[in-house]
Amino acid sequence: MKASILSFRAAVLMVIAGTIWGIVMGISQDHSTMPAHAHLNLLGWVSLFLFGIYYHLHPAVDLNRLALVQVWIWIVGTIVLTIGVGLAHSGHAVGEPIAAVSSLVVLADALLFGWLGFRREPAELAGPRSTVPAE
């Protein structure tokens, strides 16, 4: 599977979970887990969707297996971070180390995404395409 497809699919699942969470918070009038809801939506929906757009616009990177690994790490990191933040904000101290470790995983994965983006693509290394039609 391409990294962009995985990003878009995971983003949709995250926004469904994130918005249901928001509705439950609103109905119950209990906003204590609001930071976890915000992280799920921003890391899970917004960031994954942006990764998907980037990968879709850069087909050579999209096909790179490392891009797929980057998206999977982000998905798992986001879920674990959300659980950790949710536990920490609902009075369970065990959530703090979970949030701490997963935040470092997400940071490392952001660096991996940066490396994939800053690296020069094979098409770029080949030089600019000629706009002059072949004779």
Place of tokens 């469904």: 16
Phi, psi (rounded to 5 degrees) for 110:
-65, -35
CB of 85: closest distance to ligand HEM in angstroms?
Answer: 12
Residues whose CB falls within 8 Å of the CB of residue 3, separated by 6 or more in sequence, listed in order = 51, 52, 55, 61, 62, 64, 67, 68, 70, 71
Gyration radius from the chain CA atoms: 19
Check binding of 50 to ligand HEM (CB under 6 A).
no
Spatial separation of the C-alpha atoms in residues 58 and 81, rounded to whole Å: 28
Q: Which is nearer to ligand HEM, 38 or 69 (CB)?
A: 38
User: Six-digit token pair at 126?
Assistant: 């080949």
Check binding of 69 to ligand HEM (CB under 6 A).
no
CB of 46: closest distance to ligand HEM in angstroms?
Answer: 5
Number of residues that bind ligand HEM (CB under 6 A): 15
Positions in 12-41 near ligand HEM (CB under 6 A): 15, 18-19, 22-23, 25-26, 31, 34, 37-38, 41
| Residues found near ligand HEM in the complex (CB under 6 A) | 15, 18-19, 22-23, 25-26, 31, 34, 37-38, 41-42, 45-46
